[in-house]
Amino acid sequence: MIRSVKKLNMEEATGVLDLKGVTADVVCDRFSDEGWVRTTVHVPSEKEITIYVNRQELVTILCTPAKLNFLVLGFLYAEGVISGLGDVLSMRVCNEESEVDVMLSNPEYQVPTQKRTLTSGCGGGATFRTQGQRVDSSLVVTPAEVLSLMKELLQEQMELYQLSGGVHASALSDTENLLVVAEDIGRHNTLDKIQGECLLKGLSTRDRLLLSTGRVSSEMLLKAARMQVPVVVSRHSPTESAVSLARDLGIALVGYARGGRLLVYSHPERLGRSEAV
């Protein structure tokens, strides 16, 4: 059955992670100081889903099979296929067939014909966009706030990671609280899930912080720019292309936010740093 976006909003935009089908039990052999022992552990599930728009195949994404409605809506928004929920007439998420059918309010829409860029995302990501829009914001956040939020994400919010490991997490914050959290095998997928959840819940992403446990690539920076997020924080390193984009787009890009330290690769004024000497 094709379900309207309004119905999806009421029934599925809870933000609660359903772990059914998201992990699998695998038998393995564990070695430790006590020797070998056969045991059963949890590992994250991986699913291939194909997105169809107006009955046209758009893209196939490898992902963690949770919050697929958020993932698809966020991906369509990030790629400029939609500008809001009003552009979506209906969406059918079919887990058995590993596909999502989206019908737009514009029946004349045609899927992009330009070259698709395969990204460095761990879930085999893809994007049709290679340029971003500059972020206009006066937001300033302190290093202490950034480090505290990253600590909260790592220690309190990574439910799936604590169960199985093997996934990334990202969060949207208003500098005081983590508003939306998403986990996935693909770093880029976590941002799409956050964007999609915000669309369904009517939450603004503008003038917020994005935190991620994984490497920040150029694709993730473009997604952040589309969300109009002025500060992007990672526990790891950004790529060279991500640093260049951040400088051009007005985004403060922060890496290695661990313990009491961090590195700021662009626009340090957004973290209260005066002009460097």
Which residues are known to be catalytic? 122
Closest-CA residue to 109 (of 51, 55, 68): 55
Q: Which two tokens stand for residue 63?
A: 């992902």
Say whether 220 sits in a helix, a strand or coil.
helix
Give the separation between CA 71 and CA 47, rounded to whole angstroms: 13
How many angstroms separate the first and last alpha carbons of the chain? 62
- Residue 204 has a CB neighbour count (10 Å cut-off) of 12
Evaluate whether 13 touches 200 at the Cβ level (below 8 Å).
Answer: yes
Backbone φ and ψ of 89, nearest 5°: -80, -45
CA 71 from chain center: how many Å?
8
Amino acid type, 23 = T
* Residue 141 and residue 209 in contact, taking contact as beta carbons nearer than 8 Å: yes
- Distance between CA 165 and CA 150 in Å, rounded? 17
Provide the CB-side half-sphere exposure for 124 (13 A, CA): 11
Which tokens in the block code for residue 247? 């400088």
Q: Comparing C-alpha atoms, which of 64, 76, 106, 96 is closest to residue 190?
A: 64
